Amino acid sequence: MQDLFGGENVAVRAGATLLRGRALSLDTLLLAALERIAAEAPFRRMVTPGGFEMSVAMTNCGTVGWVTDRTGYRYDARDPARGLPWPAMPDIFATLAQDAAAEAGFPGFTPDACLINCYEPGARLSLHQDKDEADYGHPVVSVSLGLPATFQFGGLKRGDPTTRVPLSHGDVIVWGGPARLAYHGVLTLKDGEHPVVGRRRLNLTLRKAL
């Protein structure tokens, strides 16, 4: 279906809408904001409760940020590495997420947390569910920037069959309703050089956590 921005909206599955290139015209603004956030709260590879260091480096902005350490996964109002609040969420992130959610059928989405994932070649995110938020009635909005990646999603059980979707610079996906608790992950990032972002992939995941 043709959207208001002349882009293509694809129903990846019930509740999941891919807005191809929806963030393309904003990439310079988004990357400038990301640079300011990472200068204040640097990317770091966190440790899972099982004791493994994640291959994806992360930081956050917003009222709360997603963190993991030996004690578990949680949303925290402070960056544990600095003992300080996370950088504020830039208006452009919140507006993009709210607009994309509305276009996908979820009006009134007001994110309070933005997890920023940085993948270098070789990094991956294994199949998981996003379950640390208070209310699964809110959608999750994801924005891809930089190197292309293969996104993998399955069903509500870990063993359910999975589908692969290629994601590239500027793509936005909205997950809500029956897709909200679907298992998903990102396959190992291939090497490459993106003309604007360089040798990495950045992903914003905007959520209403509280």
Nearer to ligand MD3, 30 or 125 (CB): 125
Residues in the interface with Fe ion (CB under 5 A) total 1
* Residue from the set 140, 147, 172, 189 that interacts with ligand MD3 by CB under 6 A: 140
Q: How far apart are CA 23 and CA 13, in angstroms?
A: 21
* Residue from the set 98, 117, 147, 200 that interacts with ligand MD3 by CB under 6 A: 117
- Chain centroid offset of residue 183 CA: 14
Q: Which backbone phi and psi does 195 adopt, to 5 degrees?
A: -60, -30
Q: How far apart are CA 50 and CA 69, in angstroms?
A: 9
84-85/78-79 β-pairing: antiparallel
Q: Which backbone phi and psi does 126 adopt, to 5 degrees?
A: -75, 165
Query: Is 184 a binder of ligand MD3 (CB under 6 A)?
Result: yes
Nearest-CA neighbor of 143 among 1, 3, 26?
Answer: 26
Nearer to ligand MD3, 78 or 128 (CB): 128
Nearer to ligand MD3, 26 or 173 (CB): 173
Partner from Fe ion, ligand MD3, none contacting 75, C-beta within 5 to 8 A by type: none
> Which residues here bind Fe ion, judged by CB under 5 A?
130
For binding to ligand MD3 (CB under 6 A), which residues are involved?
Answer: 115, 117, 125, 130, 140, 142, 153, 173, 175, 179-180, 182, 184, 186, 203, 205
